Structure 1
Amino acid sequence: MSSFPRADDFIPVFGRDFVPTGPNDFIFNHDIEDSLSAIEVPLPDKISPSKNFHNTRPLSYSNRKYSFSTKYEKFHVTPHHRAGYNKIYNFRRSRSFFFELVDLISDTNQIELKIYTNDYHMSSIPIQHTSTSRLPNIKFQISKLLTHFFSTQKVIPRRLQPKFFGLIRKKLLERFDFIKSRVQKNDLTNHMTKTFFNFSYKKYRFYFGIYLPCNHVCTNDRFNTAAQVCTTPVPFTMSKHRSACILHHKKLVLYTTPKDEKSPYNNDCRNPKDFHADLLHRRWASKRIYNHFSQRLGISFDTKYHAYGLNNVVKKGSDCIYGKVYFNFKHRHSTSLRTEKRQHARFESLRRRVFNSSNLPPNANRDSQFLAAKRKCFLFDAEQHICKRLKHLCYKKKFITPLQSYYNFSLPFPDQDIGIIPVHPVKDNNVPTDESIVSTDAILDKVPPHLIPLIPDDPFYAGGLLNQPSSNKIKNKKLQPLVVGSDAWLAHMEEIYNKHESTKRHNEKILAYSIKWDTDSDRAEYRECLLDNVMTYTDVFHDYEVKKLEIASRPPPLPVPKNTKKGKQKKKNKQADNASTSTSTPDIKTDKEILEDLDDLVRYYEDHPYMTRRQARLYEPDTMVMDANLTKRCADINGNLDSHYGFHITKKVCIALDRLGSDTSSPNDTK
């Protein structure tokens, strides 16, 4: 009991535990003129009642108030990949708000709390708040930040704000505890805890979270090499205070602790690619089989790893080391009839999507369905065996026996015994080999490597890619297919390769448009085409107007003096005509002709944007659907609008003026 603190051991701190008394403060012993020391004061047997008990107060409290401010801080990132936990950086269809909390007293006189957001419509003017504590607690800080948010947003109506205020504050406090628990752990795992949660109101989507800075060193400007600390909010956090934004995900330190590893490697000395390669090698050598089950689709299948032999590298030019095998497909529906119905509907929807993407007809044969499912790595039958190449782990050179000394990880078939005993790779009967795709005949050695993956299963005949005979014609005339490796066969394969490359380039272009416009491929292609038409018309119209201004700014031509010597002038003109016909000089257009040509181009490109929109309406009506405007306010929640009280504004007639200023609208066109 000696270590328990006593009341008489307490030493008050000046300015914090008590405040000196002033002339207007109440003193408990005001009747005693001569104040006694602490030793001379006698202890009375009974406590004398105070004359005015309401004026007494503890000496350890103070009426001092501390002020702090809250404001918005904007952030923006440039990468386009914003899926998964990176959805917080998307600003077109959602908004993110991360609350910065302070748990330490700073050196400054005033605390400044910030809300990091990607909504640039929010006002950056700070709001002042007061508190009786120099460092407010976390709940008080979140409350003031939420008050700042609700006072500046224009989406959630005032009558619903008290309901959502308590809900969001509760979620933020829970998220703060989750983050604190995850960050303080010292586990060597890669488990992640999100720093945000989803919140939606009608068609509006928000992401609220706790602000954690990235704190990775970066250079914002390529011309400025000074090191700066990244302050972008992070979407997740890991143990040992590991976190990173979308720009610095690759700088995270990841730990590799495989279950089948007896002596773990040093994570600081090896490349993550080497870890992955050794892990695949051990799993292939141990012939481990992994069971997968999907509760959403009601299916199950097995996977294992397969190592391609040296013949694929030396003779066929394949550089992949391993492949992943999918087999043993089964339907495992739920015992509940309602859940089973939903699982069946999801699986059939996925199956139709896979076959429709390969342009398969409904009555396609079984082999065509297997081939289409193999391209998408989709299992739907128990007889399927799909071997997917792992292209991220390859040999360094093709058509050469790989040497173990060139690699920092173990190879499935090393070369140290090749000079003495030929290597015979282990063949797995459950794994389909590449013989079904590429034949092992000696004829295919003459085929270029880029044509081998595109060889179709069905033979083709003379006549080109677009002039193949029908099945009846082949049967009646007994046509013979082209010999594999012949000149005509190679020419046919080159046509297939050119078509494949053009389709690939077109798909890459459509993908770039989709990333640029942040929408699906159809809308992106329509918007890019419409943009090209508008820009072409704008350039042509600009050239036309510039030429008109150039002609108008020229001084008037001087009058030509009359020449009395007509005979000599005719002779000179005839000589000039002969010289012009003898030399092949191009005709020089006059300003009037140039202006007419530009006017024809303006008239030609003037209707292109309108025709593009008309064709999209007729043939692709879905592409005309515009994206939702998040900043638009509804009339039923805005009391300042007249439409809320039943007054409707009459529609105005839209007058369409052409380039010359004349009215081209019809009386039925309204806006």
Structure 2
Amino acid sequence: MISSRANNSRERNTTTKTFFNFTYKKYRFHFGIYIPCSQQHPHSTFYDSREHCQVPSPFVMSQCRRACVMHQSIFFHNENLNNVRKYGRQNPTLPATSMVNDKRSHANLLHDRWNCRWKKDVISHRLGISYKESYLARSKGSVIHHANKHMYRKWLDTFSIQRSKNVKTAKAQEIRFRRACRRTFHAKGHNKLDTMRHRLITAQRYRFLFLPSQYIYKPIKHLHYTHGLDYPDYGFKIPINQDITSQKDVVVHTVEQYNPVPAGFFPSKYKDIIPKEPLYTSAGDFIIPGSRQWFTRMYQLDLA
């Protein structure tokens, strides 16, 4: 592993330790592989500047970079790689040009991602979940009506459970996900009735996904319409560049609207007690109208 890291030519700042330690009863054991520092000594009366340091290095990096404790400050100042992230791993449709780390470059990059409908698959191996992440621009009507100056919002949706094939790892992922649910739904501001509607409100507040049918809007807080919508030049690209017109937001349904009445046959006595809102199980699973679980819930409501 150490040899693989040292001989790797990738431009990364990932380190690999050259030692390991463990405790047995009252004793602490340290084992390591001797890899000399190989940094030149600074000009001093105690060392010859032409000689290389032979003190063991506690880590190695790609391209055989390493340094001992005495030379780490100089090493990380001179040999640490900066701006090593590749554009090809972010989005192949964006131009592979060097990016300056300032507000204008970040705003233009965000605008390009929104304009080309960029999407990112986010996978958490710790929780065993995945979801999609994309950007949405605020419409003029939304900015004017809600008096909210944020230019963009992050849209999180398509939540799914992706457990590991390893039984032990999958069990640990399930425990961590349940712990995250308890921490979110036992927060101070959560309603004590703990209905599904209250859970969705709390999940939106804490930006927490736990249902496949759920989606979350998260505002991008570092880009605002600080000079108004009609300001000619912000210094970077903005999603709104036409004249201000007060228009109502048009709701575009990406999926079929929810119909609480099942398509098949059902007893006429259930017609007046069918809830208009979607039904969920105690585990948070959606109950399809006309299914066996749906008839069980209607039977319980009829008895009540």
SS state of the match for residue 146, structure 2? Answer: coil
Report 1:252-267 matches (<5 A).
257=87, 259=91, 260-262=93-95, 264=97, 267=99
Which deviations, in whole Å up to 9, do the C-alpha atoms of 1:57-79 show, x marking residues without a partner?
Answer: xxxxxxxxxxxxxxxxxxxxxxx
What code does the residue aligned with 2:61 have? F
Counterpart position of 1:311: 141
Query: Is residue 2:87 matched to residue 1:238?
Result: no
Q: Residue 15 of structure 2 aligns with which residue? A: none
For the pair 1:401 / 2:234, whether they are aligned, the reply is: no
1:392 aligns with 2:234: no
Residue 94 of structure 2 aligns with an amino acid whose one-letter code is: E
Partner residue of 1:626? Answer: none
- The equivalences for 1:103-114 within 5 A come to 103-104=39-40, 106-111=42-47
CA contact (8 A) 2:138 2:152 kept: yes
CA offset at residue 371 of structure 1?
0.9
What residue is the counterpart of 1:299 in the other structure? 129
- Say if 2:183 is the partner of 1:343: no
So what's the TM-score if we normalise by structure 1? 0.29
Distance of aligned partners of 1:425 and 1:273 in 2 relative to their CA distance in 1, 3 Å threshold? farther
- Per the alignment, residue 629 of structure 1 pairs with none
Secondary structure of the structure 1 residue equivalent to 2:239: coil
Change (3 A) 1:287 1:426: farther
Asked if 1:410 corresponds to 2:273, the answer is: no
Deviations 1:238-294 (A, max 9, x none): 32xx5xxxxxxxxxx788846322373x64xx6621111111111111112221221
Query: How has the CA–CA distance of structure 1 residues 365 and 318 changed in structure 2, closer, same or farther, with 3 Å as cutoff?
Result: same
Q: Compute the displacement of 1:135 (Å).
A: 5.3
Greater relative contact order (Cα 8 A, min sep 6): structure 1 or 2? 2
Preserved CA contact (<8 Å) 2:131 2:157: yes
- CA distance in 1: counterparts of 2:185 and 2:216, whole angstroms: 16
Within a 5 Å distance, the mapping from 1:359-398 to structure 2 comes to: 359-360=189-190, 363-397=193-227
The separation in 2 between residues aligned to 1:330 and 1:388, in whole angstroms, is: 19
Question: In the TM superposition, what is the alpha-carbon distance from 1:181 to its structure 2 partner?
Answer: 4.4
Question: 1:212 — aligned with what?
Answer: 73
Matched with 2:280 is: none
Alignment partners' CA distance in 1, 2:249 and 2:235? 21
Partner of 2:292: none
Aligned to 2:301: none
Match in the other structure for 1:332:
162
Give structure 2 stretches of 5+ with no counterpart. 1-36, 256-304
Name which of structure 1's ranges 342-351 and 305-314 shifts more when overlaid on structure 2.
305-314
Alignment of 1:392-541 (within 5 A): 392-397=222-227, 400-403=228-231, 405-415=232-242, 418=243, 429-430=253-254
Structure ID, larger Rg: 1
Q: Is the 8 A contact 1:355 1:369 kept in 2?
A: yes
TM-score, length of structure 2 as denominator length: 0.59
Letter in structure 2 aligned against 1:402:
D
Cα RMSD, aligned residues only: 3.9
Distance 1:263 1:105 in 2: 39
Q: CA deviation at 1:360?
A: 3.1
Query: Compared with structure 1, are the counterparts of its residues 303 and 427 closer, same or farther at alpha carbon in structure 2 (3 Å cutoff)?
Result: farther
Shift of 1:350: 0.7
8 Å CA contact retained: 2:141, 2:248: no
- What is the CA-CA distance between 1:363 and the residue it aligns to? 4.6
Contact 2:154 2:218 in 1 (8 A): yes
Question: How many angstroms apart in 1 are the aligned matches of 2:49 and 2:241?
Answer: 68
Q: For residue 346 of structure 1, report the CA deviation from its aligned partner.
A: 0.6
Matches of 2:121 and 2:184, distance apart in 1: 23
Contact 1:325 / 1:388 at 8 angstroms: preserved in 2?
A: yes
Paired AA for residue 73 in structure 2? L
**1:274 alignment partner, SS class:** helix
User: What is the deviation of 1:104?
Assistant: 3.5
State the distance in 2 between where 1:339 and 1:209 align.
40
Rate the CA distance shift 1:281–1:306 in 2: closer, same or farther, 3 A.
same
Structure 1: gaps of 5 or more residues:
1-100, 112-132, 143-168, 184-194, 197-207, 215-232, 243-252, 432-671
List aligned pairs for 1:19-30, cutoff 5 A: none
Q: Does the 8 Å contact 1:103/1:135 carry over to 2?
A: no
Q: Give the CA deviation at 1:310.
A: 1.3
Matches within 5 A, 1:174-189: 175=59, 177-178=60-61, 181=64
The one-letter code matched in structure 2 to 1:277 is A
One-letter amino acid matched to 1:413: I
Residues 297 and 271 of structure 1: CA distance in aligned 2, closer, same or farther (over 3 Å)? closer
| Separation of aligned partners in 1, 2:234 and 2:129 | 39
Residue type of the partner of 2:187?
Answer: S
Work out the CA distance in 2 between the residues paired with 1:276 and 1:343. Answer: 34
Aligned to 1:127: none
Aligned-partner Cα distance in 1 for 2:137–2:239: 7
Q: AA paired with 1:327?
A: D
Counterpart residue type for residue 239 of structure 2: P
- The answer as to whether partners of 1:287 and 1:305 remain within 8 angstroms in 2 is yes
1:4-23 matches, cutoff 5 A: none
Label 1:395 to 1:237 Cα distance change in 2 as closer, same or farther (>3 A). farther
Query: In the alignment, is residue 277 of structure 1 matched against residue 107 of structure 2?
Result: yes
Asked if the contact 1:358/1:372 (under 8 Å) is kept, the reply is no
Maintained 8 Å contact 1:306/1:325: yes
